[in-house]
Amino acid sequence: MRTLRAVMYSMVFTMTIASCNQEGSKTQPTEPINSGWKAIYKHDENGKRIEGNIDSLVMGIRNGYDVRIGWGWQRELGDSILRLEHVAKPLYISIIQDKNVSAIIDPHPLLQSYIDIDGQTFGEGGHIWQCIMTTKGTFNAQVYDRSDGQLIKNWPQNHKMTWFLEYPENTQKMMNKPLYK
């Protein structure tokens, strides 16, 4: 009887350890997270991590959390320094190979000026701007003629970006199961 009990305990212990090591068991509880927007991942213009964690960004997307992307620039013009920052909500997001993210920004009319507060009106001609951004730092902006949809300018570039997630109230744990499983 003792031998049978020892064998059973051994089997239960082995099955418990084995189930903890299975690949499908990537769900791990985390400390409670305060609700609201958090800067979760920041990279330079070449996609090199500055701060945060790409895995947390991917996990948040898999959990359906809202995403925002921030980017900007600072340049000297004569004796002035121009600074501009943008934050946009993606229209479409992809997780690529479990470790990269791309996002398409909803098209919008070009502004008369992006750097002059008095030029915050829609630009003449009605051109539309749209872009796709990636966690590799790529930022492919395109400008279209609103009247006929024709591509006017293809404007690939690279940017430092900050990716934000909005955590719901009472977030206790996040699932990290790929959406294809």
Cα–Cα distances in angstroms (integers) from residue 169 to residues 88, 98, 176, in the given order: 22, 26, 19
Does the pLDDT at position 28 exceed 60?
A: no
DSSP state of 15: H
Q: Which of 24-28, 50-54, 108-112 has the lowest mean pLDDT?
A: 24-28
**Could you tell me if 28 and 145 are in contact, meaning their C-beta atoms sit under 8 angstroms apart?**
no
More confident residue, 5 or 156: 156
Which residues have C-beta within 8 Å of that of residue 181, sequence separation ≥ 6? 24
pTM of the model: 0.77
- What SS3 state is found at 7? helix
Question: For position 123, what pLDDT does the model report?
Answer: 79
Percent of the chain scoring above 70 in pLDDT: 80
Say what the pLDDT of residue 114 is: 87
Q: How confident is the model at residue 27 (pLDDT cuts 50, 70, 90)?
A: very low
- Say how far apart CA 131 and CA 85 lie, in whole Å: 16
Instruction: Render pLDDT for 139-179 as a digit per residue (tens, 0 to 9).
Output: 999 999 988 999 999 999 999 999 999 998 866 677 778 88
Distance CA 58, CA 61 (A): 5
User: Mean of the pLDDT values across residues 88-115?
Assistant: 94
